[in-house]
Amino acid sequence: MNIELFRKLLLLVTSIFVLQLVYGQSSNRLDSLIQVLHDTPDHKDKARLLLKISKREELSDPEKSLQFSRQALQESRIARFDSAEVRALIQIGGNLCRLNKIKEAIEIGEQVVEKASELDMLMEVADGRDIMAVAYAEVGDYDNSSNLYFKNLKLYEKLNENRLIGRTLGKIGADFLCQQSYDKGLEYANKSLQIGVKMNDKALITDQYNNIAVAYQFGYNDLSSALQYYTKALKIAFEIDDFQQQGINMINLGRLYQDMEKSDSALFFLEQALDQFTKLNNPVLMADGYIALGNYYYHYRNYQKGRQYASQGFNIADKQQLPQSIFNASNLLYEIYLSEHDTINAFKYLVTRTRSNDSLYVLQNQKALYKLEFQYNHEKLVKEQKLKQMRNSFIYSLTILGLLSGLIIFFLFYSRQKIKMKNMLLSKEKIEAGLKFKSKELSINLMSLLKKNELISDVSQKLTMLETASHRVDLKESIIRLNHEIRQNSDDKLFQEFSVRFNETNSEFYDRLLNNYPNLTQSELKLCAYLRLNMSSKEISDLTGQRTETLEKARYRLRKKLGMTKLESNLVAFLSKI
C-alpha cells in the first residue's frame, strides 16, 4: 500500500470515528427536540418544530423523517397554518422519493403544486414539480421528468436563484446519465458543479462529483478520473454529515478499487459502506452492501466468506421483498455453489434467480404501467388545466365585454343626457332672452303709459280749469262728463294694456296669487302687479292718478290680507317670490 493511499485510509478511519461521536450527539439533540415538542401546546409551534426535526433526519433516517413530516402536516392543518402545510407536504414528498415510494410521491407532488398555486407560493410550486420529476425519473419516464425540471429551471433563472439553478442542472444531468447519454450528463454535471463551487454549496458539489465519477467510470471507462471524483465526493459528504451519501460513495469506491484490482482498498471501503448502511438501518442499501462484499470474496475465490455475505444479503432482500437485490444475491450464490461443485444448492439458487428474474420482469412491466398511468394522469391534468384556463379566459373575456358594453351604454346615455341638457340650456336661454325682451318691452310700455297718463292728466286739469272758468251750466256739465269719461277710459285702457304686457313676462303670477289668497280684489291684484315690478308709490300714483296716501293705505290693507307680520315689512320682496 503506498503512502498516499495510507493517508487517505487514515483520514477515512478518523472521519468514521468522528461520525460515531456525531451520531451520539445527534441522538441527544434529537431527544432534546422531542422533549421540547411534548412541552409545546401551540399547534403552529409544534408544526414548525416537527418540520425542523424532519429536516434534520431526512438524510440519516428517511423513514423517521417521513413520520415527523406527517405529524407536522397534521398539526399545520389543525392550526390552519397553510404555509407550514405546504412545507410539510414537500418534506413528505422528498422522503417518499428517498424510500422509493413512487406513486405516493407523485400524488404528494401534485398536492404541493395545487396548494402552493392557490397560495401564490412560486418556489413551493417548483418544489412540488421537483418531487414529481424525481419520481418520474425513478420509473424511467424521463420525458415528464425533464419537462418538469426545465420548467423549474426557467423559473429559477427568472428569479435569479443560482443555488437552485445548479441543483436543477445536476438533476437534468443525472437523467442523461441514467439514459446512458454520458456526454450530455457530464456537460450538465459540470455546469452544476461550477455553480456549487461558486456558492460553496457542498451538498451540490458532492452530488456532482459523484455524477461526474459515474460518467467517467461507465461512459468513458476512465477509472482513474472516476476514482478522483468519488474520493472528492466522499470527503465533502463527511464534511456535511450526509451519512447516506457517504455510504453510497464508499460502496462505489469499493467496487471501483475491485475493478482496478486493488483488493485492500476495495475491502476497506466495502466494509465501511456496509457499516454505514447498518447504522442507517436502510434495508435496500444493507442488502447491496452484503452482496457487494460477497461478490468481492467470490472475485478473490474466498467462496466461504463470499457465500456468507451473499446469504446475509439474500435474507434481507427476501424479507423486504426487494426483487433486484434478490436476483443479485441468488445469482451470486448460484455462481459460488457452482464454483464449489455443489450442484444441488446451485440449482436451488438458479431456480430462485429465475423466479426473481420473472419478478423483475413483472416489476419492469409495473414500472412501464406506472409510466403509462403517470403519463395518462399528467396529460389529463394538463387538459383539465387547459380547460380551466379556457373557462377562466372565457369568463374574463365575458367580464371585459360586459364592462365595455356597460361603458358604451353609459357613454351613449351620458352623451344623450349631455345633448338633452344642452338643448334645455339653449331653450332656457331662448326663453330667458324672450322674457328679457318682454321685460324690456314692458318697461318701455310702462314709460309710454306714464307719458300718456301725464298727457291725459294734463288734459284733465285743463278741462277742470275750463269748467271753473265757464259760467254756462250746460257747458260746465259737458266738461265734467267729458273729463270723467276721459279718466275712466284712460284707466281701463291703461290697465288692460299693462295686464297684457305683464302676463307675457309673469304668466303664472296671478294664478299663484289667487290660489294662495282668493279674497284679493281687482284693485289689490293691480297693486300687487305694480309692486312686483318694484314700482314706488309715486310711480304707481303717476300711472293710476291715485294719491300716494291712498296707495299707502291700500298697501297696508294688502299686507294684512297677505298675512304679513311687521317683521316681513318688505312687500315688494314678498311678491317677487310668488
Q: What is the pLDDT of residue 431?
A: 66
pLDDT digits (tens, 9 = 90+) for 434-463: 655 555 555 556 556 656 666 666 666 666
> In terms of C-beta density within 10 A (0-12 exposed, 13-18 middle, 19 or more buried), how is residue 297 classed?
buried
Q: Is the pLDDT of residue 114 over 80?
A: yes
E strand residue ranges, 163-211: none
Name the residue with cell 470515528: 17
Rounded percentage of the chain residues whose pLDDT exceeds 90: 39
6 pLDDT above the threshold of 90: no
What's the pLDDT score for residue 71?
A: 92
Give the integer Cα–Cα distance in Å for 432 and 470. 55
Q: Which residue has the higher pLDDT, 181 or 359?
A: 181
Taken as a whole, the chain contains a residue count of 578
Mean predicted confidence (pLDDT) in 17-32:
50
Of 96-110, 170-184, 387-401, the range with the highest mean pLDDT is 170-184
pLDDT of 419 strictly over 50 = yes
> What average pLDDT does the segment 26-52 reach?
76
Q: How far apart are CA 242 and CA 56, in angstroms?
A: 11
Instruction: For 535, list phi and psi in degrees, rounded to 5.
Output: -85, 140
Give the CA radius of gyration of the chain. 55
pLDDT digits (tens, 9 = 90+) for 288-305: 999 999 999 999 999 999
pLDDT band at 11 (very low <50, low <70, confident <90, very high): very low
Mean pLDDT of 470-494: 61
Nearest to 165 by CA among 155, 148, 153: 153
Whether 205 shows a pLDDT value over 90: the answer reads yes
80: left (phi over 0), alpha (psi -120 to 50) or beta: left
Contact 296, 266 (CB under 8 A): yes
Residue 401 binned pLDDT confidence (cut-offs 50, 70, 90): confident
Indicate the residue type of 465: M
For residue 102, give the nearest of 351, 373, 340 by alpha carbon: 373
Choose from 139-148, 369-378, 436-445 the range with maximum mean pLDDT.
Answer: 139-148
Give the global pTM.
Answer: 0.54
Residue 530: partners with Cβ closer than 8 Å, 6 or more residues away: 539, 540, 543
pLDDT, one tens digit per residue, over 171-181 is 999 999 988 99
Distance CA 408, CA 447 (A): 57
Query: For the chain, what is the mean pLDDT?
Result: 81
Q: In this predicted model, which residue has the larger pLDDT, 117 or 383?
A: 117
| Per-residue confidence (pLDDT) for residue 387, from 0 to 100 | 80
Which pLDDT band, with edges at 50, 70 and 90, does 63 fall under?
confident
CA angle 323, 324, 329 (to 5 degrees): 100
pLDDT in tens, 508-561: 788 888 888 888 888 888 888 888 888 888 878 877 777 888 888 888 888 888
Q: What is the mean pLDDT of residues 221-241?
A: 93
Report the C-alpha gap between 247 and 288 in whole angstroms.
11
> Which domains, and CATH codes, for the chain?
242-341 (1.25.40.10), 509-578 (1.10.10.10)
Alpha helices in 321-342 (DSSP H): 323-339
pLDDT at 317 over 50: yes
Confidence of residue 24 (pLDDT cuts 50, 70, 90): very low
Residue 272 corresponds to which amino acid?
Answer: Q
- C-alpha dist (Å) from residue 424 to 487, 504, 506: 47, 21, 20
In the chain, what percentage of residues exceed pLDDT 70? 75
The total of other beta-carbon atoms located within 10 Å of residue 558's CB is: 21
Q: Higher confidence at residue 451 or residue 88? A: 88
> In terms of C-beta density within 10 A (0-12 exposed, 13-18 middle, 19 or more buried), how is residue 450 classed?
middle
Q: Does pLDDT of 16 surpass 50?
A: no
Task: Taking residues 104-133, report their average pLDDT.
Answer: 92
> Residue 323: is its pLDDT beyond 60?
yes
- Predicted confidence (pLDDT) at residue 223 exceeds the cutoff of 90: yes
At residue 429, the pLDDT reads: 72
pLDDT of residue 8: 47
Q: Which has the closest alpha carbon to 22: 204, 238, 232, 200?
A: 238
